[in-house]
């Protein structure tokens, strides 16, 4: 649409726009009062702590040897990370409509910014909680921190791709927005937060392993607990799923950009 | 140069496709200006949104070889939870401009006083308009898109906008879109009429004016 702009100039503009959106998003969401931006970390932390307390009292860990704190933190933080990222993108187009009047602000910038912010918060919360609970001797350091980080990044990739797809899809029909709520609700028990694949019967294992995020979580837990747990995952399968989802997401986002109509 | 080449825009409605702009073409060179006259619902705002790049044309091409503003004094782009200052910062970041040297101008022009550092949602309509206009002037563009913004506000605000836009920035290009034929006569060197989705060019502003007056719908 515009005249040719070099790749690096485009990259610079993209960076500038995303920085502007990021600052704006932080102030709008968290304001300058009380804890302000710390809520970015505080919000997921409160969630994780609550779930952890619930699981402890409910005896959710199936009599396994795993420390409940580490099990809940690895499980719940990571699900929270990709699920909230998608959730933030569901209403993103509507509430950022008018920003598209600034030509350099594109639909994809809005999605990526929201996803990044959400993931940064969840990641920080994960790190802070891990350090706090390790210091309190409720859990130990991960056996292989690099593998935990790798699994976390894989889940982040999955979250970003899904956020692009769902976020863009809301531009087509608001039904997507209505269905996303129930979908996350039903997906939650399947996403792996509350179980290890190995605990399930064989048939159930085959079913949950269709879900790419289950593989990511197994990678994280193997990294965290080491050989104490038996894990089931297929990195190739998860990467393929993420790649396909990313391509679909990018395509939809571009098409959604063409469809956006102001009032 | 901005060139609009065979641009059409169609919207989906419950009653099927509605063509708002039908194969429109025109060019605007650096430093020149054009007025586009149209009745309510003629597609004026749609055209401005397409030129601004806020929406894409259904078909056709829009080329911009100079920097083009967002629709002047457009208030909708505000984040109302943010303060006037935050909105200035946001716009400056998006366009890669340092906001600090601009604060005195915006404060002075908007006359917001302490409200400059209060959320926009507490502003009156007049305050919002003044802020919107000041932000448009804060970023320097080669071409301004003016969508009847000059019509709103009181006399004094009017005059100050006039000074900022048509005197201090008279070397810039602009596209003025309005239903008010008089403002086109006052500001523009050429004019077109937008009617039934078609853009009708005229040799002089007066001819466009006569055609517009003679065709009330």
Please classify residue A169 by burial: count the beta carbons closer than 10 Å to its beta carbon, then call 0-12 exposed, 13-18 middle and 19+ buried: buried
Dihedral sign for Cα atoms in the order A131, A136, A141, A147: negative
Q: What is the pLDDT of residues B90-132, one digit of tens each?
A: 999 999 899 999 999 999 988 899 999 998 889 888 888 889 8
pLDDT of residue B115: 92
* DSSP alpha helix (H) spans, B24-111: 44-52, 84-95, 103-110
Indicate which CATH number applies to the domain containing B43.
Answer: 3.40.50.300
Higher pLDDT, A5 or A47: A47
From the list A192, A222, A229, the residue with the least C-alpha distance to A207 is: A192
Q: What is the pLDDT of residues B35-54, one digit of tens each?
A: 999 888 888 888 988 998 88
Cα–Cα distances in angstroms (integers) from residue A57 to residues A50, A63, A68, B168, in the given order:
11, 13, 10, 71
Closest chain B residue by Cα to residue A26: B82
pLDDT of residue A4: 64
DSSP B67: -
Given a cut of 80, whether residue A5 has pLDDT beyond it is no
Dihedral sign for Cα atoms in the order B36, B44, B67, B3: negative
As for how many domains chain B has, the answer is 1
From the list B143, B130, B154, B210, the residue with the least C-alpha distance to B177 is: B143
Q: What is the pLDDT of residues A105-162, one digit of tens each?
A: 889 999 999 999 999 999 999 999 899 988 988 888 899 999 999 999 999 999 999 9
- The reply to whether B18 falls in a domain is yes
Q: Which of A23, A102, A260 sits opposite B55 (nearest CB)?
A: A260
Closest chain B residue by Cα to residue A100: B54
In terms of residues, how long is chain B? Answer: 217
- The reply to whether B77 falls in a domain is no
Instruction: Identify all chain B residues contacting A105, using CB atoms and an 8 Å cutoff.
Output: 94
Please name the helix (run of DSSP H) or strand (run of DSSP E) that holds residue B38, with its range, or none.
strand B33-38
Highest mean pLDDT (candidates A68-72, A227-231, A259-263, B96-100)? B96-100
- The reply to whether B201 falls in a domain is yes
- The reply to whether B75 falls in a domain is no
SS3 B42: coil
- The reply to whether B212 falls in a domain is yes
pLDDT of residue A69: 83
Angle between helix B125-138 and helix B84-95 axes, rounded to 10 deg: 30
* DSSP alpha helix (H) spans, chain A: 7-30, 39-58, 68-90, 92-96, 107-135, 145-169, 174-190, 202-208, 212-225, 235-259
Instruction: Identify all chain B residues contacting A19, using CB atoms and an 8 Å cutoff.
Output: 93
From the list A161, A158, A132, A139, the residue with the least C-alpha distance to A221 is: A139
**Contact indicator for B197, B19 with CB cutoff of 8 Å:** yes
Please tell me if residue B68 touches chain A, with a CB cutoff of 8 Å: yes
From the list A78, A118, A114, A85, the residue with the least C-alpha distance to A99 is: A114
| Angstrom distance (rounded) from CA A49 to CA B109 | 50
Please tell me if residue B187 touches chain A, with a CB cutoff of 8 Å: no
Please tell me if residue B144 touches chain A, with a CB cutoff of 8 Å: no
Place B75 in a pLDDT band, splitting at 50, 70 and 90: low
Cβ–Cβ below 8 Å for A16 and B49: no
pLDDT of residue A63: 59
- The reply to whether B102 falls in a domain is no
- The reply to whether B185 falls in a domain is yes
Higher pLDDT, B51 or A58: B51
Pairing label, strands B16-28, B2-13: antiparallel
pLDDT of residue A1: 45
pLDDT of residue B89: 92
**Contact indicator for B135, B83 with CB cutoff of 8 Å:** no
**Two structure tokens written together for B20:** 């708002």
When the pLDDT of each residue in chain B is averaged and rounded to a whole number, the result is 87
Higher pLDDT, A58 or B108: B108
pLDDT of residue B149: 55
Cβ–Cβ below 8 Å for A28 and B56: no
Domain that holds residue B178: 1-67+173-217
Pairing label, strands B33-38, B173-178: parallel
Q: What is the pLDDT of residues A170-219, one digit of tens each?
A: 888 888 888 998 988 888 888 888 888 888 899 989 999 999 999 999 99
To the nearest whole Å, the CA of B146 is away from the closest chain A CA by 13
- The reply to whether B200 falls in a domain is yes
| Angstrom distance (rounded) from CA A129 to CA A133 | 6
Given a cut of 90, whether residue B147 has pLDDT beyond it is no
| Angstrom distance (rounded) from CA A239 to CA A258 | 29
Instruction: Identify all chain A residues contacting B91, using CB atoms and an 8 Å cutoff.
Output: 102
Q: What is the mean pLDDT of residues A238-252?
A: 96
Higher pLDDT, B73 or A206: A206
From the list B61, B49, B2, the residue with the least C-alpha distance to B30 is: B2
**What ipTM does the predicted assembly reach?**
0.80
Q: Which of A24, A105, A258 sits opposite B56 (nearest CB)?
A: A258
Q: What is the mean pLDDT of residues B155-179?
A: 87
Instruction: Identify all chain B residues contacting A23, using CB atoms and an 8 Å cutoff.
Output: 89-90, 93
């Amino acid at each position: 649409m515009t005249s040719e702009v070099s790749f690096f100039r485009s990259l610079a503009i993209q960076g500038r726009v995303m920085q502007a959106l990021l600052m704006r998003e932080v102030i709008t969401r968290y304001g300058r009062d009380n804890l302000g931006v710390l809520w970015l970390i505080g919000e997921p932390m409160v969630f994780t702590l609550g779930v952890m307390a619930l699981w402890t009292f409910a005896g959710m860990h199936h009599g396994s040897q795993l420390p409940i704190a580490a099990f809940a933190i690895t499980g719940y933080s990571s699900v929270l990370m990709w699920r909230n990222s998608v959730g933030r993108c569901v209403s993103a187009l509507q509430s950022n409509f008018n920003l598209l009047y600034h030509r350099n602000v594109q639909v994809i910038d809005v999605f990526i910014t929201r996803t990044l912010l959400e993931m940064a918060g969840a990641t920080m919360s994960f790190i802070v909680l891990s350090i706090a609970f390790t210091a309190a001797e409720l859990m130990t350091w991960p056996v292989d921190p690099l593998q935990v980080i790798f699994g976390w990044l894989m889940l982040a990739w999955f979250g970003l791709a899904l956020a692009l797809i769902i976020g863009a899809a809301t531009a087509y029909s608001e039904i997507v927005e209505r269905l996303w709520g129930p979908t996350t609700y039903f997906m939650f028990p399947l996403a792996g937060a509350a179980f290890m694949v190995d605990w399930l019967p064989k048939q159930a294992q085959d079913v949950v392993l269709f879900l790419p995020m289950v593989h990511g979580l197994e990678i994280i837990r193997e990294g965290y607990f080491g050989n104490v747990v038996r894990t089931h995952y297929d990195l190739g399968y998860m990467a393929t799923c993420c790649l396909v989802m990313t391509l679909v997401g990018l395509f939809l986002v571009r098409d959604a950009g063409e469809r956006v109509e102001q009032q | 140069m901005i060139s609009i080449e065979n641009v059409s825009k169609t919207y989906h409605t419950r009653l099927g496709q509605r063509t708002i702009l039908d194969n429109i073409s025109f060019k605007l060179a650096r430093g020149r200006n054009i007025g586009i006259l149209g009745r309510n619902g003629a597609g004026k705002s749609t055209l401005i949104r397409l030129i601004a790049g806020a929406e894409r044309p259904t078909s056709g091409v829009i080329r911009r070889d100079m920097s083009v503003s967002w629709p002047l004094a457009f208030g909708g782009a505000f984040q109302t939870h943010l303060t006037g200052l935050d909105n200035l910062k946001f716009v400056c970041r998006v366009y890669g401009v340092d906001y600090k040297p601009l604060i005195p101008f915006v404060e002075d022009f908007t006359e917001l006083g302490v409200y400059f550092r209060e959320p926009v949602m507490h502003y009156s309509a007049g305050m919002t308009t003044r802020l919107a206009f000041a932000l448009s002037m804060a970023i320097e563009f080669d071409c301004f898109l003016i969508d009847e913004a000059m019509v709103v506000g009181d006399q004094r605000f009017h005059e100050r906008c006039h000074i900022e836009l048509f005197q201090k920035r008279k070397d810039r290009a602009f596209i003025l879109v309005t239903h008010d034929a008089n403002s086109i006569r006052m500001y523009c060197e050429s004019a077109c009429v937008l009617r039934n989705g078609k853009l009708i060019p005229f040799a002089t502003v007066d001819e466009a004016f006569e055609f517009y007056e003679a065709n009330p719908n």
